[in-house]
Structure 1
Amino acid sequence: MKLNRSTDMALRIAMLAAANPRRMTVDELSDQLDLPRNHVAKVVQRLQRLGVLVTIRGRSGGVAFAEDGGDTTVGHVVRAFEGDDEVVSCDEPACSLRAACRLRGELRRARDAFLAVLDGVTLGGLVDGPTGPVLLALGLPRPRPAPTPVAPSPGEPPLSVAPSSPVGRRAVPDPV
């Protein structure tokens, strides 16, 4: 069973908030998880309504993991974001096998078993052990790629940096 993008985002946001002892802004969550800010804001609102996150408005506000958020099961979050839709649609277009087909029932049973496993996993349990520190390391500054050298235009002398010049000085043309 493939989870939709919002469910995936919700689980990652909840895990990062659970691992982090301080409040985080939506911008920080977006940057650290490399997710679109607007989507993060919507998912945070839904997680707040579920009782997983607490949001605080204002200058020193932010998003924090709810005190009892660690007891929330992954199954609860998945159901809230995925809904109770059938795994396959037998109605649009109408399936001529529907009256005698057992596939829909078996897929429903598989979905229920999948969710039953997730009902045994709490958000707090997901960040125990080595996962929490890895999540917190996401907040470290990312290495920036080295600048790409720009080739001179045809007919211009090549540019070089004088060996004694400090970093950040302008490049000067080579003597011709």
Structure 2
Amino acid sequence: MGSVALVQLTAFTDLGLRIVMRLAVLDDEQAATTRALAEELNVPATHAAKVVTQLGRLGVVDARRGRGGGLRLAPGARTVSVGFLARALEGDGEVVECEGAHPCPLRGGCRLRTALARAREAFFAALDPVTLADVAAPPTRELLLHIGARPPG
């Protein structure tokens, strides 16, 4: 039996990618609100707000207040690499916790930690050539356009 490597993104990163995908299908004159995105994506508005703040810091999302405001992708954001976004949203954490409250006794000479760090980077590297425009293209585009829409009746 072959082995399967599993990588799990944090809920923060998952939500960030879903938010930018949703924004990627809006026309330039359209904007979304954090509350509307949270409802469409079925997540708490407080979580969406934290993610939107980070996406703004990364320069991927423009957030404007007031009349004509709302959330839009920043100019050029459709060409941003999914690998870049995933790395930036995930942060510099390690795959395994070697230090922490109960440090691993192998941490001084463990080769697993390095191998796992290389595997994590290989995962992100596989996402580097994929752009936001790629993941928001049809058939996903149609799903994103209608996400959260209530059926008639």
TM-score class normalised by the smaller sequence: 0.7 to 0.9
RMSD: 1.6
By relative contact order (CA 8 Å, sep 6+), the higher-ranking structure is: 2
TM-score, normalised via structure 2 length: 0.86
For 1:127-166, what per-residue CA distance to the aligned partner results, in whole angstroms no more than 9, with x for missing partners? 112111110111422578xxxxxxxxxxxxxxxxxxxxxx
Indicate the structure (1 or 2) with the bigger Cα radius of gyration. Answer: 1
Richer in helix (by share) = 2
In the other structure, the counterpart of 1:104 is: 113
Indicate the SS of the match to 1:54. Answer: strand
Query: How many residues are aligned here?
Result: 144
In the other structure, the counterpart of 1:152 is: none
Q: Quick check: 1:57 aligned with 2:65? A: yes
Q: Please tell me the residue identity of whatever aligns with 1:27.
A: R
In the other structure, the counterpart of 1:71 is: 79
**In 1, Cα distance between equivalents of 2:65 and 2:9:** 30
In the other structure, the counterpart of 2:90 is: 82
Indicate the SS of the match to 1:97. Answer: coil
For 1:94-135, what per-residue CA distance to the aligned partner results, in whole angstroms no more than 9, with x for missing partners? 222233421111111110100101111111111112111110
In the other structure, the counterpart of 2:104 is: 95
- Name which of 11, 23, 40 aligns with 1:5: 11
Map 1:91-170 onto structure 2 (within 5 A). Answer: 91-92=99-100, 93-142=102-151
**In 2, Cα distance between equivalents of 1:112 and 1:79:** 9
TM-score, normalised via structure 1 length: 0.76
**In 2, Cα distance between equivalents of 1:55 and 1:99:** 45
**After the TM superposition, which segments of 4 or more aligned residues of structure 1 sit over 6 Å from their partners?**
none
The unaligned stretches of length 5 or more in structure 1 are 145-176
In the other structure, the counterpart of 2:3 is: none
